[in-house]
Amino acid sequence: MAAARSFATSALGMGAGALVVPSVRQARHFSFLAVEHGCTDDGKAGPATVRPILLPSKYGNQTMKKPRVLVRDQIRLTAKVLDIPSPFVRQVMSRMKTDGRLPSTRPVTSDVTAESLARLVLGLCAPLPGKSTDTEIAIGAVPRIAGDGADTVASELESLINEAAGVVDGEIDFWSGDLLVGIDRPSLVVHVVRFDGTNTLRLYRGKHEREEGVTRFVRIPLQTLRMLALELMGD
């Protein structure tokens, strides 16, 4: 028995009888899901089917792309996740953009990469915004002297961020572990816990002119790093 399919919606000026609901993932592009109610020749209700509808829009019904983030939103999200003042984040980003360490775009940010996010995280460890670029460069270049991991702090942080954001697969449990970033004498201690329960320490340290005295550290839980990576790099 042939089934007579009917689709209509008063919202589109196509009659009445069908239900149109927004698609959550495609709402930004004015896309909808149409529920078509089928009926048989004897008038009984048939099974409903769902199909997508792309309405005309200024986007030309192009394939949905990852939404861009406004600079002010990136500042707000970074400050919220790291629990530091927004003005400090803004000043650090401004300085690092001026120095060519971060992409400079307004009002919409360029796509956040593991490299740019790693640089920002290290720059935010600086005691003052004016020292953010020097701090990021100095710490990022420190080599690994013990444990597994990447060769330098910068590449290690990029690797962790890519894994935290789901760009690459990995075996690190980001609910545990942390980073200890040495500021006065650039260094990094990475404590990771793998899913099998294995604890690993990775030590990055360079040669310093002065070995005596106190070194200030910034502690970043891996859970916090993961949250930041997902906020700024996740789909």
Q: pLDDT for 7-22, tens place per residue?
A: 333 333 334 443 333 3
User: Is the predicted pLDDT of residue 229 greater than 70, yes or no?
Assistant: yes
What is the DSSP-derived secondary structure letter of residue 68?
Answer: P
In whole angstroms, give the CA distance from residue 176 to residue 191. Answer: 9
Kindly indicate the confidence band of residue 26, based on its pLDDT and cuts at 50, 70 and 90: very low
CA neighbor of 112 nearest in space, from 140, 151, 160, 70:
70
Q: pLDDT for 98-141, tens place per residue?
A: 999 999 877 766 788 999 999 999 999 999 999 999 999 999 99
In whole angstroms, give the CA distance from residue 7 to residue 203. Answer: 64
Q: Residue 117 to residues 18, 20, 38, 160, 228: CA-CA distances in angstroms?
A: 46, 40, 51, 11, 9
Which pTM does this prediction carry?
A: 0.70
37-46, 47-56, 140-149, 150-159: segment of lowest average pLDDT: 47-56
Provide the pLDDT for residue 43.
61
Q: Are 17 and 8 in contact (CB under 8 A)?
A: yes
